[in-house]
């Protein structure tokens, strides 16, 4: 008979290298304690890597860069899927995603309707902050990011150059999503988002 270790590694090897796995992915093979021990044994044998607490992967290796760890954004998305939660980047992460800041944040902060938690990944942290359903009710990926980025900048510190960048991004948002998300933003942000709708309508008429 195959051991639980054999069954776990067989499943991991079927997936693309770099795919992330949680203990929960193997509970059909045994108890949480048995799966956890199997994963740790596989780590000790260097068959898989422990990316962070409770998250495992079979990682690729580059001859120059060495072991290629998954991006922290991929880890955050994997946690979101496991928890069946909603998340949205906020703070400096939202600014960086929109090109409003070139600084790569050490800590990735997400608003979530799942559990509040902090995940240590090397020297970086993924922080999930519990928030109200309203802050996660946006349906546009771009417009949702824009609202969080503008909140981070603040009404009194926003520059015309930053507004121009925002409007350029919003031009690529689906109009019905933009219309939905406007109502979820503070009035000063709505004014900017309405300009984007006007620009889209003007382009369609041209």
Task: Give the per-residue pLDDT at 67.
Answer: 86
Task: Give the per-residue pLDDT at 204.
Answer: 58
* Digit-coded pLDDT (tens) for 66-98: 888 899 999 999 999 999 999 999 999 999 999
Decide: 183 and 157 in contact? Cβ < 8 Å: no
What is the token pair recorded at 54?
């409770």
Provide long-range contacts, Cβ within 8 A and 24+ apart, for 21-25.
21/55, 21/56, 21/57, 22/54, 22/55, 22/56, 22/78, 22/82, 23/54, 24/82
Instruction: Show the low-confidence residues of the chain (pLDDT under 50).
Output: 206
- Listed in sequence order, the DSSP H helices in the chain are 4-14, 32-44, 72-83, 91-97, 141-153, 160-170, 175-182, 187-205
Q: Into how many domains does the chain fold? A: 3
Q: Which domain, by its residues, includes 119?
A: 84-135
Task: Give the per-residue pLDDT at 14.
Answer: 95
Angle of the 187-205 helix axis to the 160-170 helix axis, nearest 10: 60
| Residue 78 belongs to some domain of the structure | no
Residues 165 and 147: their CA atoms lie apart, in Å, by 13
- Do residue 119 and residue 145 come from a single domain? no
| Residue 73 belongs to some domain of the structure | no
Task: Give the per-residue pLDDT at 201.
Answer: 61
- Do residue 14 and residue 60 come from a single domain? yes
């Amino acid at each position: 008979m195959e051991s639980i270790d054999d069954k776990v590694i067989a499943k991991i090897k079927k997936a693309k290298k770099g795919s992330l796995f949680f203990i929960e992915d193997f509970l059909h093979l045994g108890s949480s304690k048995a799966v956890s021990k199997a994963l740790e044994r596989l780590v000790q044998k260097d068959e898989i890597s422990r990316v962070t607490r409770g998250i495992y992967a079979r990682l690729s290796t580059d001859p120059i860069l060495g072991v290629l760890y998954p991006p922290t954004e991929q880890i955050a998305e994997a946690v979101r899927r496991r928890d069946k939660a909603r998340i949205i980047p906020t703070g400096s992460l939202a600014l960086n995603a929109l090109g409003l800041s070139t600084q790569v944040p050490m800590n990735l902060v997400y608003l979530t309707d799942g559990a509040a938690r902090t995940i240590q990944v090397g020297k970086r942290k993924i922080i999930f902050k519990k928030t109200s359903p309203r802050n996660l009710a946006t349906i546009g990926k771009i417009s949702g990011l824009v609202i969080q980025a503008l909140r981070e900048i603040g009404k009194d510190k926003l520059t015309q150059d930053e507004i121009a960048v925002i409007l350029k991004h919003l031009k690529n948002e689906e109009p019905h999503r933009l219309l939905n998300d406007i109502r979820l933003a503070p009035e000063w942000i709505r004014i900017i988002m309405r300009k984007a709708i006007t620009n889209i309508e003007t382009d369609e008429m041209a």
